[in-house]
Amino acid sequence: MSESADLSIIIVNWRSVDFLRKCLTSIRAHGHGVTFETIVVDNASFDGSAEMVAREFPETRFIQSYKNLGFGKANNLGFSRSKGRNLLFLNPDTEILGTAIPVMLSTLESVPGAGAVGCKLLNDDGSIQMSCIQAFPSILNFVLDADYLRAAFPHFSVWGTGPLLDGSSGPALVEVISGACLMIRRDLFEELGGFSTAYFMYSEDTDLCYRVRRAGWTAYYTGQAEVIHHGGKSSSSAAQTQFASVVMLESILRFMRLFHGKAYAWAFKATAALVAGFRLLMLGVARLATAGQEESRAVSAAWSKWAKIFRWALGLEAWVKQLD
């Protein structure tokens, strides 16, 4: 690899060897026209990925971490071993489609002020993942975050997902790009000090995009680049969903504390308690109304989730403190 290579693709693996194989195969098939290197960092999963990469993808650099560094630190480790002029942080459970890599790279290097670029993430069935772009978290969009409101007012700016709905394929200015597929200029990433390690998991991409904007650059989304993201496969159980919900809120709380101050963070947590309490009240009525019916299972799962959030907002989830 020369120092003038177009791109370094960095993938952090954790117990995803089968997905990783598909991801690397897609990169090999669709990376034409771009000079790139691929780096895989294994987060102490020891799932056979080292042997698979050595056997099937010898051109890929493999870094074995003997402890789980988390998302931010592991990506920073991969960056430290990279040489590309630009960086693409990619989840192992993604598959590149068509010209996604050259399109994203062209957008990053040709659009004035573009510091980072994201793409259209697709579910297994081809539907769009609405989480591929988002607005920066706030008390307002937390309070309003309900499926029926999103359905009734899909273009409301508080969601930050307008470019996914307007049919535009050209570059669109956005706030947050999903860390599942995020391309950024190397010099900017280095200037910003890489991914923040203040989070256990979640919000690292939000934090990075916020600092990109504060540094005077812009994040863009391009619908001309498409990537399949098999997201959420390992978090399907109710217990794991509750865990993810609480950890995500804890990460958002830390983001707010870092960038908006302790008072705003306190107000967010108090608001979360009120919202969770209201949701539990409504779900309690729904549980009575759907008792013995097929819908009762979904209602019970939602009740468990919001009960966990309510306990977190009141400071009753002691395990959260271990995330520091």
CATH, residue 16: 3.90.550.10
In a domain, 208, yes or no: yes
pLDDT at residue number 287: 87
Mean pLDDT by 10 residues, the chain (324 residues): 80 96 97 94 95 97 95 96 97 97 97 97 94 96 92 90 84 97 98 94 95 98 96 51 88 97 98 97 90 82 93 90 70
User: Which of the listed residues 211, 229, 247 is the one where a domain comes to its end?
Assistant: 229
- Strand segments (E) across the chain: 7-13, 36-43, 61-65, 86-90, 94-96, 114-122, 133-134, 172-174, 176-177, 181-185, 218-229
Q: Please indicate, yes or no, whether residues 161 and 258 belong to a single structural domain of this protein.
A: no
Q: Please indicate, yes or no, whether residues 217 and 246 belong to a single structural domain of this protein.
A: no
pLDDT at residue number 322: 73
CB-based burial, 170-195: b 16+ in 10 Å, e otherwise: ebbebbbbbbbbbbbbbebbeebebb
Q: Please indicate, yes or no, whether residues 164 and 269 belong to a single structural domain of this protein.
A: no
In a domain, 127, yes or no: yes
Q: Please indicate, yes or no, whether residues 27 and 167 belong to a single structural domain of this protein.
A: yes
pLDDT at residue number 279: 95
Q: Please indicate, yes or no, whether residues 139 and 286 belong to a single structural domain of this protein.
A: no
pLDDT at residue number 3: 58
pLDDT at residue number 5: 87
In a domain, 255, yes or no: yes
In a domain, 190, yes or no: yes
User: Which of the listed residues 181, 197, 229 is the one where a domain comes to its end?
Assistant: 229
Q: Is 22 helix (H, G, I), strand (E, B) or coil?
A: helix
pLDDT at residue number 147: 86
Enclosing domain of residue 291: 238-323
Q: Please indicate, yes or no, whether residues 249 and 208 belong to a single structural domain of this protein.
A: no
In a domain, 135, yes or no: yes
Q: Please indicate, yes or no, whether residues 113 and 18 belong to a single structural domain of this protein.
A: yes
User: How far is CA 238 from each of CA 32, 145, 273, rounded to the nearest angstrom?
Assistant: 41, 20, 21
Q: Please indicate, yes or no, whether residues 158 and 221 belong to a single structural domain of this protein.
A: yes
User: Which of the listed residues 229, 260, 290 is the one where a domain comes to its end?
Assistant: 229
pTM for the whole structure: 0.93
- Separation of alpha carbons 75 and 35, rounded Å: 20
In a domain, 116, yes or no: yes
Q: Please indicate, yes or no, whether residues 95 and 49 belong to a single structural domain of this protein.
A: yes
Q: Please indicate, yes or no, whether residues 224 and 247 belong to a single structural domain of this protein.
A: no
Q: Please indicate, yes or no, whether residues 250 and 105 belong to a single structural domain of this protein.
A: no
Q: Please indicate, yes or no, whether residues 15 and 80 belong to a single structural domain of this protein.
A: yes
- Count of the separate structural domains present in the chain: 2
In a domain, 204, yes or no: yes
CA 38 to chain centre: 20
**Burial (Cβ within 10 Å: 0-12, 13-18, ≥19) of residue 21:** middle
In a domain, 2, yes or no: no
- Biggest alpha carbon–alpha carbon distance for the chain: 66
- Separation of alpha carbons 144 and 284, rounded Å: 20
